[in-house]
Amino acid sequence: MATTPISLPGRKRAKPNSLRRQFVTGGVGLVALASVVIGIASSVAVGRTLIAGLDEDLADTARRVSVSLQQPDTVPLNRPGFDVGTVVAVINDGEVSGAYIDRDGQLQVLESHQVGGLRSIDWRRGEPVFVNLLDGKGEYRALPVAEVDGSQIVVGLPLRDIRVALARLNIIIIVVVSLVIGAGATIGAWLVRFALRPLDRIRETAASVTQQPLDRGEVRLGLRVPAKYATDDSEVGQVGAALNLMLDHVDDAFRSRFESEEKMRRFVADASHELRTPLAAIRGYAELTKKAGGKLPEDLQQALNRIESESIRMTSLVEDLLLLARLDDSGQLETEPVDLAHIVRDALSDAYVTSPAHEWGAQGIEDPVMVDGDPQGLHQVVVNLLANARVHTPSGTKVEARVTQTAQATKLVVEDSGPGIPRDARKSLFQRFARGDSSRARQSGSTGLGLSIVDTIVKAHGGDVSLRSRPGKTVFTVTLPRERVAKNAAHDLN
């Protein structure tokens, strides 16, 4: 039987964590991780390369400034060949002065508020440092050039072009990584769908098997995983081959079970049929002996009474077995419009005559309640349910039969106020020869077939029977579908 996921009240059911989802998520995660690592490594490597190139330009600028310093009365930045943004500063006892080349190529004096962190740096020859100048708006790479008369000469080049280049590179990396992740997710989903196609066919085959009636009758499991998906060249193919092998074994087991059931069913039907004649003869001779025997001794009279009662009991058992064998053989009944309320009224009248000590009641049987079914079968369903309540409850127990009908179904409810049915006995109560109370069943002559016959007849009508029981209340509910009723009504109107 197919199962459905269980959802908790008030909570949304989580999406199933399918194998396809895991594969795609894992693959995309690895691609994303690899792309991000490569992007970060590329950005860092390019940044270091650009900084190294800038340091080389800075060293070359420092050499040219050093050459200019060797010429007296010459301002270093007045010489051609210096880039825009180049800064030359003189640091003497915490005082900083200097000049820089602006964007227009003009030489501008470096004001005191523009020197940034030049005062606090511990300069070392040949080691460039990062420093913010021009009111913090310019990030520079600075390098000491020389020390003249106790003053430190420093030269700096702007990092603006490098920062712009790295920002553009990072944008490109982000765009490329996003495209790679999207393409990886799309391609990965397609590849996973293609790779798991055999698994989908295996799942479809297994789901189709669960939807077939396997509990009774002749079962033939003709469903198999296609041969191209049941090979030994992959793990999924091996699962398909194993499933096909299992279905072959299950098919053989069902065939053996059916053959065994058929033999047993034929034996029961033949034996029951053959037993009807000798049982009738035994009962007849017992009755004849009682009538024609005149004055019989008390012990002989008791023996004849026992022979007659046991023959009646055995005849009832044989008739029940024959009915079950017939239903097992055909599984269907000849149906016609039947008044279920009338059947319940007749069965209650018989039950009252049989056991006037019980309190019998009914609801919903005043007006006709038409169903499409077998009259004898439905009569036996009602009789067996009432007999079950009568036999297994003490005198004075209230037993009530209720009939209700809706647009979808007709329900027959038999409720009693008896001691209830033990929990351990409920699971097997509708099985053949099952007894809820073995000692009481033996004393009352129950065969254990009554509820089994009820279940079999109701299922032959396309319905079902259910049980609810606790001390003081036992309820049997028979539900019959109304599809056939609608068809008959339409036929009558035509």
- pLDDT per position as a tens digit, 171-229: 999 999 899 888 888 888 888 888 777 777 877 777 777 777 666 656 667 777 777 77
Are 386 and 426 in a shared domain?
yes
Q: Domain for residue 187, yes or no?
A: yes
Contacts for 155 with CB less than 8 Å, ≥ 6 apart: 58, 61, 62, 65, 86, 87, 88, 89, 142, 143, 145
Beta-bridged to residue 138, according to DSSP, are 133
Q: Domain for residue 50, yes or no?
A: yes
Are 306 and 343 in a shared domain?
no
- How many domains would you assign to the chain? 3
Determine the Cα–Cα distance for residues 388 and 377; give it in Å rounded to an integer: 16
Are 155 and 301 in a shared domain?
no
Here the CATH number for the domain that contains residue 227 is: 1.10.287
Structural domain boundaries, residue 300: 214-329
Are 322 and 350 in a shared domain?
no
Q: Domain for residue 97, yes or no?
A: yes
| pLDDT at residue 415, as a whole number | 94
pLDDT band at residue 332 using 50, 70 and 90 as cut-offs: low
Residue 409 token pair: 């179904």
Look at residues 390, 411, 404, 397 and name the one whose alpha carbon lies nearest to residue 476.
411
> For residue range 59-104, what is the model confidence (pLDDT) as tens digits?
888 888 877 776 655 555 555 567 787 888 888 877 787 888 878 7
Greatest C-alpha distance within the chain: 165
| pLDDT at residue 227, as a whole number | 77
Domain limit, last residue, from 270, 296, 329: 329
- Burial environment of residue 158 by CB neighbours within 10 A (0 to 12, 13 to 18, 19 or more): buried
> For residue range 119-147, what is the model confidence (pLDDT) as tens digits?
777 788 888 888 888 766 678 888 888 87
Domain limit, last residue, from 195, 226, 248: 195
Task: Cite the DSSP H helix spans in 135-159.
Answer: none
Q: Domain for residue 113, yes or no?
A: yes
Contacts for 475 with CB less than 8 Å, ≥ 6 apart: 413, 414, 415, 467, 468, 469
Q: What are phi and psi of 264, to 5 degrees?
A: -65, -40
Question: Does residue 468 sit in helix, strand or coil?
Answer: strand
Are 325 and 338 in a shared domain?
no
Are 440 and 359 in a shared domain?
yes
Determine the Cα–Cα distance for residues 33 and 37; give it in Å rounded to an integer: 6
Q: Domain for residue 205, yes or no?
A: no
> For residue range 250-299, what is the model confidence (pLDDT) as tens digits?
877 777 777 776 776 676 666 666 777 787 787 787 777 777 656 777 77
Measured CA distances, 224 to 179, 207, 227, 230, 240 (Å) = 42, 11, 8, 9, 9
pLDDT band at residue 483 using 50, 70 and 90 as cut-offs: low
Are 55 and 188 in a shared domain?
yes
Determine the Cα–Cα distance for residues 87 and 104; give it in Å rounded to an integer: 14
Are 426 and 359 in a shared domain?
yes
Determine the Cα–Cα distance for residues 255 and 257; give it in Å rounded to an integer: 5
